[in-house]
A and B are shown apart, each in its own frame.
Chain A
Amino acid sequence: MSDLVGGPHAHSGSSISRTMVLVLVALTPATLFGFYEFGWPAVFLFLVTVTAAIAAESFALALGGKPQKPFLLDGSAVVTGWIIAMTLPPWAPWWIGVVGSFIAIVLAKHAFGGLGQNVFNPAMIARTVLLISFPIEMTQFLTPQPMFTGGSPGFFEGLEITFAGHTAFDAVSSASLLGAIKTQLGLGVPVNEVVGGSLSLTAMALGIVPGSMGETSAVAILLGGILLLATRTITWHAPVAMIVTMAVLAGLFQAIDPGRYPGPAIHLVSGTFLFAAFFIATDYVTAPATGMGKLIFGAGVAALTFIIRTWAAYPEGIGFAILLMNAAVPLIDHYVRPRIYGRTRSGEPIRYEEI
């Protein structure tokens, strides 16, 4: 008691690791569903990616001369690795996960100063760099092969797919919905003819469609999102702004030309959109601090995503949209700040009219 300790002398009990654990719990439904849908190769890729993230964190900490224990135990590296795995094609080779984790942890996080200092979301940097560098591996999706069914590879076959290249893969590969729409539109097939069959909206909401490991099931993601909201780990601002903006934009353009523009439902449940709304756009470090800021951020992400999906070369644009909005965060935080008690928005003391 000799040290001079300052107040407050009570604490809520919250901690960074507690927050991270909550995020992991929230990711669990989508993860388990992904494992079920895509079988052993998905499990192996997941394990490799998370392990690589922890190894990368440890390596970067050692390089930076920082203590290992507190930072490895805070759980942030596991969350990053886990999220990267969620965004990968489930049967991608092991090195995709390893390269992704190292890019995220070493380049996107520690090069900027480590925990809390990065400007860009590490998982989105990894995903984007991988997409640009390895376009083939990163866009080879497959029709779900639920575990323990005939089409699903066994344990050893799974090991082979992840670690030794995939002969079994070509048989089941398929385009994601957004990819299919883009290709078919290019061939002059209207949207409403592309959607249907195996790509029905119900299947997409449930997640029985080709896609990344943890992003296909809107239901599982929503479950996690609700958990995050209920535990007040995240606020509603960014997800709601993203969903509303996307729905409005997609609805507007669909009304203009239904044959050219897919509707709000397709945009909302396909690709990484919902996953990003609850797990990426709500990343504390790379999002604005105020509620209003988060609304602007979410709206910006959705608008940019819509633009990239609709008019750019890539079928999915959410990674680029997040990174572009990440860069705008310091600006948003500079201009959008809470009103100080007893002051007007411009910072002058409040004035009352003389009675």
Chain B
Amino acid sequence: MKMFRIKGGIHPDERKDLAAGKAIETVPLPSLLRIPLQQHIGAPAVTVVEKGDEVKKGQVLASARGPVSAAIHAPTSGRISAIGRFVAPHPSGLPGQTITMRPDGKDEWGELPAPIEDPFAVEPDVIAERVAASGIVGMGGATFPSAVKLGLRNRNKLETLVINAAECEPYLTCDDRMMRERSEAVIDGIRILRHALGVERAIIAIEGNKPEALAALKAVCSANQFKDVLIARVPTRYPMGSEKHLVQTLTGKETPARALTADIGVVVHNVATCYAIREAVRFGRPLISRIVTVSGGAMKRTGNFEVPIGTPISHLIDHCDGFNKEPDRLLLGGPMMGQPIASTRTSIVKGSNGVLALCPDETPARQTMPCIRCASCVSACPCGLTPFEMAGHIRKEELDAAVKIGLLDCIACGSCAWVCPASIPLVQYFNYAKGKLTAQQRAKHKQEETKRLTQFREERMERQKRAKQEAMARMKAEREAKKKAEAEKKRAKQETIGA
């Protein structure tokens, strides 16, 4: 298959060998599950259970609210012990609405929706409905509700489904293991998704550093003679897993700024999402567990684990025998775009693909020096930006100038900061600026809303005043007319008498 070159990118130390050889293991149930209601992009789910309720595995705990949201299901059977605010799996460590559940150890399935026997015979909308009901979100980390993406079929003319199995983040091997061990199911899931989107072909993009996964999927396709699924070996280069860059590598088409890949006829789904969709369609099982890579130099034992959603990170670390030395950084996700874990009491959620405990020699603890304009960041940026210049503007609080040279086109992949010889925290500069711009925009919006409401109120008061005046004038006129009429009457009477 012909590949197209993308600009920039880097080759970070992969370190995938730490966990790539370890088969997927199941983790014993923890004594408590903490299930956040916000595990996806969009509105948080709304609880439909109450404290004290006994629930079965797969039962809905919280339902989607609004068009962009996702339902949440019970990962096992047990009792709801609390519904309240708890530390969220977010670097801020701020609390978020969380359902706490005590497993009863029986792991009993509740009533599930009926399996769809032949997914290729049903209408695509049936599959989209099932995906929505199963609470499936993008499992590569973006956690965008998958059903919404399936709905793009009605908005855009789609041609290709791209399966993102690049797994370009160092250390992470969960997708790799899934493709190796569950290749039949993965291919089945991809074909179901292809049918659900109504496109002719699906391309699975896998970085060349996963030859076993490539071979496993190829074997399935050739054994079954599937002609609708292409397997593409894409170059190993970070950030190959960036949606727009992956699509360009495969199709040569560049997604316009501020548009979706769907606008050029391509929809991208993560490979783990395909597996989840297949589980939901073929067996009626909602998304209640995911595969997580546990890795890093500070872990006693590394591996890939099938973890129920809501499992505390501390439980997973204990299952891996803990740390062999105090980790320098504890991360949720990969080292390039992952976030520090504020507390190990937080849980594994739908978008958690890795738990990394990195020791000092794996992480940069360098002194920041002044920029020497070496322009390494310019060559590394996959988006054609000038990071050093943007950071310079942001340092001086010239946010508009930074926007003008492309701040909002930054995908925060971190390639620039990775290459920077001065160890300037470029990504932080950009995140700071983006956050500040959002806050400014919100403030501006609020101001405009207030202005609009004030104006509205003034108009309303004016209207009321006018109405009152008019009413009074009318009443006065009526009164006078009445008086007049009475006087007329009187006069008429007098005239009659006089006559």
Contacts and interface: CB of A to CB of B under 8 A. Distances in A.
B378 A289 contact: yes
Interface string B405-429: 1100100001001111111010110
A333 B373 CA distance: 11
Contact of A18 (B258, B327, B421): B421
Interface size class of B (residues with CB under 8 A): 35 or more
A289 B386 contact: yes
Given A341-B383, A352-B256, A10 B372 contact: no
Interface stretch (B21-29, B285-293, B332-340, B491-499): B332-340
Nearest to B331: A9
A333 B425 CA distance: 22
B306 interface: no
A6 B373 CA distance: 22
Interface stretch (B72-80, B276-284, B357-365): B357-365
Contacts of A343: 256-257, 384, 406, 409
A10 B420 contact: no
A14 B421 contact: yes
Given A1-B330, A6-B431, A343-B257, A70 B414 contact: no
Contact of A74 (B369, B379, B427): B369
Interface in A105-130: 114-117
Given A117-B370, A338-B386, A340-B409, A8 B335 contact: yes
Interface in B369-390: 369-376, 378-379, 381-386, 388-389
Contacts of A18: 421
A10 B363 CA distance: 5
A70 B373 CA distance: 18
Contact of A4 (B331, B340, B417, B421): B340
B382 A341 contact: yes
B336 A7 contact: yes
Contacts of A169: none
A349 B370 CA distance: 33
B212 to A, nearest CB: 24
B257 A340 contact: yes
Given A70-B367, A337-B405, A12 B10 contact: yes
A2 B381 CA distance: 30
B209 interface: no
Interface string A225-262: 00000000001000000000000000000000000000
A308 B66 CA distance: 72
A5 interface: yes
B263 to A, nearest CB: 8
B244 interface: yes
B254 A15 contact: no
A290 interface: yes
A10 B379 CA distance: 18
B47 interface: no
Nearest to A234: B374
B149 interface: no
Contact of A16 (B258, B372, B388): B372
A9 B409 contact: no
Interface string A1-31: 1001111111110111011000000000000
Interface string B317-344: 0000000000111110001111110000
A18 B423 CA distance: 13
A16 to B, nearest CB: 5
A136 interface: no
B276 to A, nearest CB: 26
B151 to A, nearest CB: 21
A9 B259 CA distance: 29
Contacts of A351: 256
A342 interface: yes
A114 B13 CA distance: 33
Contacts of A339: 384
B255 A342 contact: yes
Contacts of B358: 9
A223 to B, nearest CB: 22
Interface string B336-358: 11111000000000000000101
B254 A342 contact: yes
Interface in B413-456: 414, 417-423, 425, 427-428, 431
Contacts of B379: 235
B5 interface: no
A15 B12 contact: no
A16 B421 contact: yes
A265 interface: no
Nearest to A11: B364
A284 interface: yes
A69 B254 CA distance: 47
B373 A8 contact: no
B396 interface: no
A340 B256 CA distance: 10
B366 A15 contact: yes
A9 B335 contact: yes
A151 B425 CA distance: 56
Interface in A321-352: 333, 337-343, 349-352
Nearest to A14: B421
Given A4-B92, A7-B414, A289-B386, 9 more contacts: A6-B427, A6-B428, A287-B373, A289-B389, A341-B245, A341-B254, A342-B254, A350-B256, A352-B264
The 9 closest A-B pairs by CB, nearest first: A11-B364, A8-B414, A342-B257, A289-B375, A341-B383, A349-B257, A349-B256, A338-B384, A284-B374
30 contacts: A4-B92, A4-B340, A6-B431, A7-B417, A9-B358, A10-B170, A10-B335, A10-B364, A10-B418, A11-B363, A12-B419, A15-B421, A19-B421, A70-B367, A116-B373, A235-B379, A284-B374, A333-B389, A338-B7, A338-B381, A338-B386, A340-B409, A341-B244, A341-B254, A341-B383, A341-B409, A342-B254, A349-B256, A349-B257, A355-B157
Interface of A: 1, 4-12, 14-16, 18-19, 70, 74, 76, 114-117, 235, 284-285, 287, 289-290, 333, 337-343, 349-352, 355
